[in-house]
Amino acid sequence: MKRELIKIGTRRSKLAMWQADYVADLLIKGGIQPELVPIETKGDKIQNTSISKIGSKGVFTEELEMMLGRGRIDIAVHSAKDLQSKLPNGFSILSFCEREAPGDVIVSEKAIDLNQPNLILGTSSTRRVAMLRHFYPHIKTIETRGNLQTRLEKLREGIMDGLVLAYAGVRRMNYDDKIQYRFDTERFVPPVGQGSIAIQIHERLNSEKAHRIKALTNHALTEKMLLTERAFLRRMDGGCSIPVFGHARVEIDGQIALVGGIASLDGKKFIRRTVYGKEPEILGCSLADKVLQSGGKKVLDGIKSFNKAAGGFSDLIV
């Protein structure tokens, strides 16, 4: 009997292809034949410009969504943290694969001491820069874009002491031996979605086919955490150029603990709150309201004004 064919859209980077292969393996186990369709996105093409200057919405997803909408692919595989909080009409997230540890790490060829004077760390994340400025104001940061292999090559050139990266990507690319420091997720809170692979679809996908794919790929516990985090991000109206952070975990009693907040670009304002509950959408919105009412709205408005006037956050961090 011939297997049903599912076309999987993915970015071309090694990490993105690893994620697509991971999803493909799950489908094969369920009797579905996957076909990978690599696609280059705007974020992949433009390597010398800060993400915040390119545009914070759809930088790594727009081209994949175009292919979904045209029916050229059946599903698109993304890092969940790359998906904008509000998807275009007709699109939805079908499933979230089981989450890897969501924290950040420092990768380096040498031992790293965060109290070291004149320490230079590379990152392309506004959240990481803002949090480093808050907790470690003596550390200098350098804008570092590109795929993981490109960033490691820049590290080897010696222009920085280390790279701040997501543990999930480092582990998936087998660079664990280069990890010199692991950040505490309660203090150095990850961005929404970090560590999980998300599968996006368009409404044109056959419902029976969608149901079969979800049954093979979705991890219920991860889905609960990610829906909570994304509800928070959506209410905060955050994007790649906004240092918003949020991380959910499910407690033993089934309650969800959600910690999240926002930092100012210079790191001087740092608002973090924690809420508990059982309904992802309600909990995420509740946290966002607490953060906004505790001074977060003023911080958010200030960041948006700065980005509009200065053309992007990268002016602060290069």
Name beta bridge partners: 171.
none
> Are 92 and 207 in a shared domain?
yes
Answer whether residue 92 is part of any domain. yes
**pLDDT score of 315 more than 60:** no
Using the predicted structure, report yes or no on whether residue 51 has a pLDDT greater than 80. Answer: no
Range of the domain at 28: 4-97+196-219
| Token digits of residue 276 | 């508990």
Nearest-Å Rg of the Cα atoms of the chain is 19
Tokens 């011939």 correspond to: 2
Residue 196 has pLDDT above 50, yes or no: yes
Distances (CA, A) of 76 to 11, 145, 201, 213, 231: 9, 23, 7, 12, 21
Q: What pLDDT is stored for residue 168 in this prediction?
A: 97
Q: What's the pLDDT at 102?
A: 97
Cα–Cα–Cα angle for 242, 124, 257, rounded to 5 degrees: 50
> Could you give the percent of the chain with pLDDT greater than 90?
80
Residue type, 125: S
* Tens-digit pLDDT profile for residues 164-176: 999 999 999 999 9
Say which residue the tokens 């280390």 belong to: 162
How buried is residue 36: exposed, middle or buried, by Cβ count under 10 Å (0-12/13-18/19+)?
Answer: middle
Question: Are residues 154 and 146 in contact, defined by beta-carbon separation less than 8 angstroms?
Answer: yes
**Is residue 188 in some structural domain?**
no
pLDDT at res. 54: 41
Model confidence over 215-231: pLDDT tens digits?
999 999 999 999 999 99
Answer yes or no: 301 catalytic: no
CATH number of the domain that 165 lies in? Answer: 3.40.190.10
In the predicted structure, residue 318 carries a pLDDT above the cut 50: no
Whether 119 and 170 map to the same domain: the answer is yes
Band (pLDDT 50/70/90 cuts) for residue 241 is confident
Q: Does residue 243 register a pLDDT over 60?
A: yes
* pLDDT tens digits, 78-111: 999 999 999 999 999 999 999 999 999 999 999 9
CA distance 213 to 97: 11
pTM, rounded to two decimals: 0.90
Instruction: Give CA–CA dist 302/298, Å, rounded.
Output: 6
Q: What single DSSP character describes residue 239?
A: -
225 falls within a domain: no
Which residue in the list 21, 25, 44, 82 is annotated as catalytic?
A: 82
Domain count for the chain, please give it: 3
* 132 & 19 share domain: no
Amino acid in position 168:
A
Are both 272 and 159 inside the same structural domain? no
The amino acid present at 47, given as its one-letter code, is Q
Residue 46 has a pLDDT of: 47
On whether both 60 and 209 belong to a single domain, the answer is yes
Tens-place pLDDT, residues 53-86: 444 455 678 999 999 999 999 999 999 999 999 9
132 lies in the same domain as 73: no
